[in-house]
Amino acid sequence: MEILELLENSAYFKERLSALKNNRKTFFSGLIGSAKSAVLAVLAGHFKNILVITGTSLEAESIREEIRSFSGRE
């Protein structure tokens, strides 16, 4: 099973996805490194648009590239 499938099928992710789809506030805490981008890649498959705010443009570009790598989409 692919890493994104494992993430998407986890109780951790399902609970937060449900909250987001019901317009409730939720947090994805404790994520380090590429785990943040993996979560964003899976979320991108569930929502038309997502907004990511980063501290620098370099960090934004890095996250964008990681999301592309995970999702295989441009």
pLDDT digits (tens, 9 = 90+) for 15-53: 999 999 999 999 998 999 899 999 999 999 999 998 999
CA dist 42 and 67 (Å) reads 9
- The boundaries of the domain holding residue 46 are 3-71
pLDDT at residue 71 in the model: 85
Distance (Å, rounded) from C-alpha 60 to C-alpha 18? 26
Average pLDDT on 46-65 reads 93
Statement: residue 74 has pLDDT above 70: no
Domain count, the chain: 1
Cβ atoms 39, 28 nearer than 8 A: yes
Q: What is the pLDDT of residue 1?
A: 60
